[in-house]
């Protein structure tokens, strides 16, 4: 008697805390991200802008006005300072009132009631950190901004910040994010359990053994089961 091959399974029974990415995972991203808007104003590529921001702007706090001043001085375009300030200030205001996906608040509330510690970890511009934790994140234990930890994903230190904040070891931590490189590969290298949140059902190659979710609601089901199926081929993501 033969049957369909079963997917390999991985245990999440030891998970005591979960960290989430923000943009694209908990928060709906803007049609044009802030770094992309800055790139357009400065006349550089998005890749160049991301590299530039990761060098300093995403590793320390700075006001929108000061960051705009630094960028306009670096690129010798003082006439753009005002427009850059506007872009960065709007980003700060959006961060204070994040547009979260519909499944976020009920999922976080349920996980919190189940006794799990919940964190968010994000590569955020230092100019975008809100003065107070947004109401939408009231069930999170802490939001860890790269501009406060000094480390950006996928760097090991970015995930070490979660270990320090939670007081837990890597095998007690699960990280959920929408970036295969920054979230899945970075967290896996740090020894965390990982899950890729593929909200858009992108048809792309995934690392071997990747747990794939399309909604956070599925996360609740997998955690309650304790054992999760992992991908062995791309088609299993759909």
pLDDT at 228 > cutoff 70: no
Overall fold of domain 9-27+100-237: Rossmann fold (3.40.50)
- For position 177, what pLDDT does the model report? 97
Q: Is the pTM of this model over 0.85?
A: yes
Interval 102-121 mean pLDDT: 97
pLDDT tens-digit map of 154-196: 999 999 999 999 999 999 999 999 999 999 999 999 999 999 9
Structural tokens at position 125 = 């511009």
pLDDT tens-digit map of 58-80: 999 999 999 999 999 999 999 99
Structural tokens at position 131 = 């003065």
How far apart are alpha carbons 161 and 234 in whole angstroms? 31
- Would you kindly state where each structural domain of the chain is located, as residue ranges? 9-27+100-237, 34-96
Contacts of 9 (CB under 8 A, 6+ apart): 227, 228, 229, 230
Q: How confident is the model at residue 236 (pLDDT cuts 50, 70, 90)?
A: very low
Task: Please answer whether residues 170 and 160 qualify as being in contact, where contact means their C-beta atoms are separated by less than 8 angstroms.
Answer: no
């Amino acid at each position: 008697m033969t049957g369909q091959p079963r997917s390999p399974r991985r245990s999440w029974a030891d998970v005591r805390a979960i960290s989430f990415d923000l943009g694209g995972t908990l928060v709906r991203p803007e049609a044009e991200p802030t770094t992309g808007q800055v790139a357009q104003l400065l006349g550089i590529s998005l890749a160049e802008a991301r590299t530039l921001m990761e060098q300093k702007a995403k590793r320390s706090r700075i006001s929108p006005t000061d960051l705009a001043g630094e960028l306009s001085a670096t690129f010798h375009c003082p006439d753009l300072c005002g427009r850059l300030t506007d872009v960065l200030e709007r980003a700060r205001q959006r961060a204070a009132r994040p547009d979260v996906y519909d499944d976020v608040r009920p999922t976080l509330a349920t996980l919190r009631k189940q006794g799990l510690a919940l964190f968010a970890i994000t590569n955020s511009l230092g100019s975008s950190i809100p003065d107070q934790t947004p109401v939408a994140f009231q069930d999170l234990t802490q939001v860890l901004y790269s501009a406060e930890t000094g480390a950006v994903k996928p760097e090991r230190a970015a995930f070490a910040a979660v270990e320090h904040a939670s007081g837990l070891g890597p095998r007690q931590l699960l990280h959920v994010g929408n970036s295969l490189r920054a979230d899945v590969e970075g967290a896996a290298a740090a020894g965390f359990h990982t899950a890729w949140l593929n909200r858009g059902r992108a048809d792309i190659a995934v690392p071997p053994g990747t747990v794939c979710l399309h909604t956070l609601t599925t996360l609740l089901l997998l955690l309650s089961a304790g054992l999760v199926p992992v991908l062995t081929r791309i088609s299993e993501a759909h």
